[in-house]
Structure 1
Amino acid sequence: MSGTVHLVELREGGSQDLYSVNNIMQEAFDPRFGEAWTSAQCLGMLSLPGVWLVVASVDGEDVGFALSRATVDEVELLLLATRPSARRRGVGGALLRAVIEEARGRNTVRVHLEVRSGNDAVQLYRREGFEKVGERRDYYRGRGGQLFDAHTYARDIADLT
């Protein structure tokens, strides 16, 4: 991706996208933090009711995805990742807004997410109206055994514009 503006295209994904999802995850998540899921974990999650995948592409290349789950009247954003080359170009925001719109369409009242303390994605979440509502100490275990806190954010659907 160059410095020019490119259209972010979003589509509903599925198990056929696991290869692309895994590649994006490997690029997006630094292994020091232990945040990436395995393909088996993603496939298992996709097989559950209420789970959906949104894939973002630019110029025909998959550059990001969001995996979410609806339970009763709430949605949890399980994973959101963009290739480093696509960051700060609107891909993450487009994915997050797509999750929010789907949550609204499912008549849910709240969207939750969890993110590692210090993750730059917090800026995106705050920009989209999410507020910190909790913390899990030493939740993530990195490759070297180092522990990292997880922060929980949430946003009411009714407040989303």
Structure 2
Amino acid sequence: MTRQKTLILLAAGGSAALLLGALAFQHLGGMAPCKLCIWQRWPHGIAIGLGLVALVAWPTLMAALGALAALATAGIGGYHTGVERGWWPGPSDCTGGPVGGMSSEDLFDQIMAAPLVRCDEVPWEMWGLSMASWNMVVSLGLAAIWVLALRAR
């Protein structure tokens, strides 16, 4: 196996590990994901698929696309981290918002339509970093591996 394909498998395997970890937190740990958590999963799934395609065809193209997928999930993780820390507002359908000026009926409708899991709360953290933050950090590392694979052609 070439160095390029080895690096691609390492990067795609990293995405698989992160995705499996997220699913384990959800299904084994009972930690339901919020909307932004789900958004972070999609690029990992794409990266896994790109890694598999690279085994049979277009490894250089797949490495470039894999780097973009890793950067996409890192970007979403960074955005989610900012929402959790209150640096900027998140999507209105999964974060708390002001209730001033709302009628009691509008407020009730907003409460009933709110998701069960909020994007602006940190359900788990390690060493001061939330799951979204860890996804961002590790995904930036995976993007670097994809770039190394791109340059290894």
TM-score in terms of structure 2 length? 0.30
TM-score (norm 1): 0.29
| Bigger proportion of residues as strand | 1
Larger of the two Rg values belongs to structure: 2
